[in-house]
Amino acid sequence: MLRRRDFNWTLLALASRGFVAPVQAAPSAPAQRILVLGDSLSAEYGLARGSGWVALLQKQVAQEKPGFEVINASISGDTTSGGRSRLPALLKRHQPSLVVIELGGNDALRGLPMAMTQGNLLDMTKQAQAAGAKVLLLGMQMPPNYGPDMARQFEAAYTQVAKSQKAALVPFFLKGVGDDPEPLKWFQADRIHPNEAAQPRMLANVWPTLKKQLK
């Protein structure tokens, strides 16, 4: 058995002959996660894989905030009720530092009660914050054929939830797309889902506010 001083001399001898003990790299810190909880607008409905705004967000994050990764938990057709039921398991599994909530459009299209939509948005925001995550709400607007009163109430639902919970808010996720004087150039044939050309605009609406939350 080598004594300590003999061991030191043995190391020196090995090193002089080109034998160097391997140095283990320090473990890197795990990436912080951004969880996107959305519907078809975020699930690349009708788009080539990797061309949606969330995929573009992943590339943006990799360039500017390499300590973060994006988890897309969006499902086409989802409502705020669906998101509310799915969120607890997603929070437990991914432990995100930021939750982006992009839901509510399908609630409006289906004529679901406004109070229910706002209640679900509020509950999801509280769930995420209780799990230690920041929240970014992506506001939506109702089509004009629903009437100005309904449109104001729907838009206010996002504002009220964000204000009451001190969450971040993008007032209108589809700004420059859904309110463009020539909207058909930004939408697929169904006139509901944004096309590939619209995706960079959608990301541009989100990124400035989202970036501020990544600290």
Q: How far apart are CA 174 and CA 154, in angstroms?
A: 15
The DSSP symbol for 180 reads -
Query: What are the strands of the beta sheet with 32-38, ordered from one edge?
Result: 68-72, 32-38, 98-102, 134-138, 168-170
Catalytic residue among 6, 28, 40, 76: 40
DSSP secondary structure code for residue 29 in this structure: P
- Using alpha carbons only, what angle is made at residue 145 by residues 74 and 103, rounded to the nearest 5 degrees? 15
d(CA 104, CA 81): 9
Least Cα distance to 214 among 78, 35, 20 occurs for 35
Write down the catalytic residue from 16, 28, 149, 190. Answer: 190
Q: Is 40 a catalytic residue?
A: yes
Strands (E) located in 50-147: 68-72, 98-102, 134-138
Give the active site residues: 40, 190, 193
